[in-house]
């Protein structure tokens, strides 16, 4: 019969009729208490919370008011003791109670060490380690670290880059925090021009803003071209982030991605622009794709055009992707305005050029049939892991 069984019975039921038996019985209780304490101290705990939990469990086992072992001894042994045995049981019980104070949680916690090797964590399962040797359950599956993947917008950016790199274009980048001069003035957008309203947005100070398009890189690239005394033409694409004071909705985001294309050489015409963009659209959306150019206005190009491609989903028949029109508008473009060439230090009498600007996010939405631009920037793994 172990201690737990014995405390459930009275001394009489246990056959204790003399003082010597009582003393021996209490000695047995003290030994049990001490060895349980020592076992916990020897084992230690893997962390502070685990230690506190273990200490509290042992404390409750012995000292809980209702069914702790000491209370049961009080109820069943002391209170029920025969008159002749009461004094000796009383003395032994008081002694036990004093000794049992070492089972208070704080007293235990002082002696139980937190050790890294006490418990090994494997996939949320706690495997107890006996002192010195560690039991690891080797048949459990290991920890699998999820692999990341390339963000869909960057994936499409690289796809577009590849097409233009294949045509001999180079990648050029510029700062996202841009000067008002490069973002507007050098691009033929004076302070008083009404077209500035759309883009006159996120300022850092009166001369600096978060660029509203990648077009300022046109000027920076021309300046570099002149500075370095380069020969031949200037053929670049400029991917990067842009910012506008737009409220986020399904098709707008205050931060988005653009890619500018710029070709400057001694005999560039609008035909080169059309040919290049038509080739690009076929490469990106498929050989059946047709392009359509509509006149529009940009202060930095003249003439200016908007480019639509035939819907790659319905092939121009009209569907949800193209909003039943058969066409998807994807780019702005035009011949670089002579004043812009001048601002970049290039002689418009000798050189001409074309430029385009496209929204990479919009291309990505068109490519994958995504109807909400916000999905790109919410970082939801359930969305991103599909790419």
Q: Which residues bind ligand PHE (CB under 6 A)?
A: 213, 215, 260, 298, 301, 332-334, 355-357
Q: Measured in whole angstroms, how far is the alpha carbon of residue 359 from the centre of its chain?
A: 24
Expressed in angstroms, the distance from the first to the final Cα of the chain is 66
Choose between 74 and 302: whose C-beta lies nearer to ligand PHE.
302
SS3 of 255, please? strand
Exposed, middle or buried by CB within 10 Å (0-12, 13-18, 19+), for 103?
buried
Nearest distance in Å: CB 173, ligand PHE: 16
Answer for the pair 63, 97: CB distance below 8 angstroms, yes or no: no
Nearest distance in Å: CB 215, ligand PHE: 4
Assigned token pair, 376: 């790109």
Choose between 46 and 301: whose C-beta lies nearer to ligand PHE.
301
- Please tell me the distance from the alpha carbon of residue 156 to that of residue 4, in angstroms, as a whole number: 71
Choose between 74 and 329: whose C-beta lies nearer to ligand PHE.
329
Nearest distance in Å: CB 299, ligand PHE: 10
- Please tell me the distance from the alpha carbon of residue 312 to that of residue 317, in angstroms, as a whole number: 10
Nearest distance in Å: CB 328, ligand PHE: 16
Choose between 279 and 387: whose C-beta lies nearer to ligand PHE.
279
Answer for the pair 259, 357: CB distance below 8 angstroms, yes or no: yes
Consecutive H or E run containing 237? strand 234-243
Assigned token pair, 337: 């305005």
Choose between 68 and 216: whose C-beta lies nearer to ligand PHE.
216
Nearest distance in Å: CB 330, ligand PHE: 11
- Please tell me the distance from the alpha carbon of residue 334 to that of residue 190, in angstroms, as a whole number: 19
Q: Is the peptide bond before 133 cis (omega within 30 degrees of 0)?
A: no
- Please tell me the distance from the alpha carbon of residue 104 to that of residue 91, in angstroms, as a whole number: 21
Choose between 129 and 268: whose C-beta lies nearer to ligand PHE.
268
Nearest distance in Å: CB 301, ligand PHE: 5
Nearest distance in Å: CB 187, ligand PHE: 8
User: Which residue's Cβ lies closest to ligand PHE?
Assistant: 357
Choose between 301 and 343: whose C-beta lies nearer to ligand PHE.
301
């Amino acid at each position: 019969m172990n201690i737990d069984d014995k405390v459930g019975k009275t001394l009489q039921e246990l056959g204790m009729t003399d003082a010597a038996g009582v003393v021996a019985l209490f000695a047995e209780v003290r030994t049990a208490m001490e060895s349980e304490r020592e076992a916990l101290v020897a084992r230690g705990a893997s962390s502070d919370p685990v230690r506190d939990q273990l200490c509290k469990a042992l404390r409750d086992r012995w000292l809980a008011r209702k069914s702790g072992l000491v209370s049961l001894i009080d109820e069943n042994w002391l209170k029920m003791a025969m008159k002749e045995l009461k004094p000796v049981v009383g003395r032994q019980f008081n002694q036990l109670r004093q000794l049992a104070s070492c089972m208070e949680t704080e007293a235990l916690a002082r002696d139980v060490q937190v050790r890294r090797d006490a418990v090994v964590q494997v996939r949320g399962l706690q495997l107890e380690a006996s002192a010195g040797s560690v039991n690891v359950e080797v048949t459990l599956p290991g920890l699998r670290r999820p692999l990341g993947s390339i963000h869909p917008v960057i994936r499409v950016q690289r796809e577009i880059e590849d097409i233009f790199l294949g045509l001999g274009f180079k990648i050029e980048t510029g700062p996202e925090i841009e000067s008002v001069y490069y973002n507007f003035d050098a691009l033929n957008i004076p302070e008083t021009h009404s077209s500035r309203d759309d883009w006159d947005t996120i300022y850092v100070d009166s001369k600096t803003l978060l660029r509203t398009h990648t077009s300022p890189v046109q000027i920076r690239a021309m300046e570099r071209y002149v500075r370095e005394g380069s020969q031949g033409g200037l053929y670049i694409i400029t991917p990067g982030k842009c910012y506008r004071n737009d409220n986020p909705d399904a098709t707008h985001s205050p931060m988005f991605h653009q890619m500018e294309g710029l070709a400057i050489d001694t005999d560039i015409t609008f035909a080169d622009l059309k040919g290049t963009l038509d080739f690009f659209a076929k490469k990106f959306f498929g050989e059946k794709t047709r392009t359509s150019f509509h006149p529009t206005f940009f202060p930095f190009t003249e003439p200016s055009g908007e480019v639509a491609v035939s819907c790659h989903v319905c092939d121009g028949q009209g569907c949800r992707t193209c909003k039943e029109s058969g066409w998807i508008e994807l780019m702005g473009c035009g011949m670089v305005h002579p004043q812009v060439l001048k601002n970049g230090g290039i002689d418009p009498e000798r050189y001409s050029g074309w430029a385009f600007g496209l929204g990479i996010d919009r291309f990505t939405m068109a490519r994958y049939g995504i109807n909400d631009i916000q999905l790109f920037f919410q970082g939801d793994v359930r969305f991103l892991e599909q790419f």
